[in-house]
Amino acid sequence: MRIAIVNDMSRAVDILKRIILDNSVHKLAWIAKTGSEAVRKCEEDQPDLILMDLFMPDMDGVEATRRIMYATPCPILLVTATMEDHAGKIFEAMGHGALDAINTPMMGSGENALKSRDALLKKISIIEKLSINSKNAPKKEQTKPARAAKVSSLIVMGASTGGPKALADILSRMPVDLRAGILIAQHVDGEFSAGMARWLDEQSPLKIRIAKEGAYPLQGTAFLAGKNDHLVLTSHLNLAYTKEPIATPFRPSVDVLFKSVAAHWPSMGVAVLLTGMGKDGAEGMKMLHRVGWHTIAQDEATSVVYGMPKAARDLVATSEILPVDRIASAILRRL
């Protein structure tokens, strides 16, 4: 991949440049020290991936991400040393189209430095797979148990690129006394899922919590997948995490969650597939649609990346295709 670096800190640039050039698979496209310089350079020479800092003079990473994704969209990975203290900024940038976020790798040759370097290379590898539309895991049909649930109605949502903003829009329109439980799979590193849950909780009258192993869906609560493993609904109708399928580049996978719900939830519900790169969630939505669920895909006009919803549309897996600002009301009508 041809990778660009956007960062005003010379030390961070040196670390990122060394990681890129030491790996024979990747090449350095260009370096920008401000967001405005990055927007200009991206117009002149679009890279395969941008490693974007969050805070810079002139124009920060949030605004630079917004402008790049509007004018010359390409994969953006936020690489910053300020992640824990600025979760809102991170998810704002992800709402504009940044794929993921990671801490700036450490300098040196110690164990922690090597781990941080490997973590960045792993993220880059996953984004490369996403960019070439990796194949989803194969379908596996299962039978449904006729068991009672903690809630009678269930809503499941999946999102990737641009998802935080879309999720915030939908969850903010839900009533505090929502008589349904919500399960969400958003492509985001497990390290930052707690921050995302807190951020979404501030946007919505509902309770937004990280899904815990063994928990049951709860009325008026949205559970967000909180690990790099896949969130699933078990045959006992509680939540669990699984590493399988390991080869799936999307973690947590929307398909894995949707398919587990199709297999085990004893009644109908509403499934929503939002903006995102690739095809994750389309096959799972098809299974839910086939067993009678009402399925909603975000439309092209309001999607940051029209990949996942388009894949569901192409599979004829959707009951409705709607702009993001109409999805909440459509869910409530079905409930």
Could you list the active site residues? 160, 187, 280
Cis before 73? omega within 30:
no
Type of residue found at 3: I
Q: Is residue 268 within 8 Å of residue 288, measured between CB atoms?
A: no
Strands 76-80, 154-159: pairing kind: unpaired
- Kindly state the tokens that stand for 135: 């194949």
Helix (H) or strand (E) holding 230: strand 230-233
- Kindly state the tokens that stand for 33: 């020290």
Query: What does the alpha-carbon distance between residue 16 and residue 12 come to, in Å, rounded to a whole number?
Result: 6
Q: What DSSP string runs through 238-268?
A: -EEEE--STT-SSSS-HHHHHHHHHHH-SS-
Query: What does the alpha-carbon distance between residue 76 and residue 92 come to, in Å, rounded to a whole number?
Result: 13
Query: What does the alpha-carbon distance between residue 232 and residue 229 come to, in Å, rounded to a whole number?
Result: 10
- Kindly state the tokens that stand for 102: 């990671």
Helix/strand/coil for 279? coil
Residue 122: HSE in the Cβ half-sphere, 13 Å Cα cutoff: 16
- Kindly state the tokens that stand for 303: 């999607």
Other C-beta atoms closer than 10 Å to the C-beta of 244 total 12
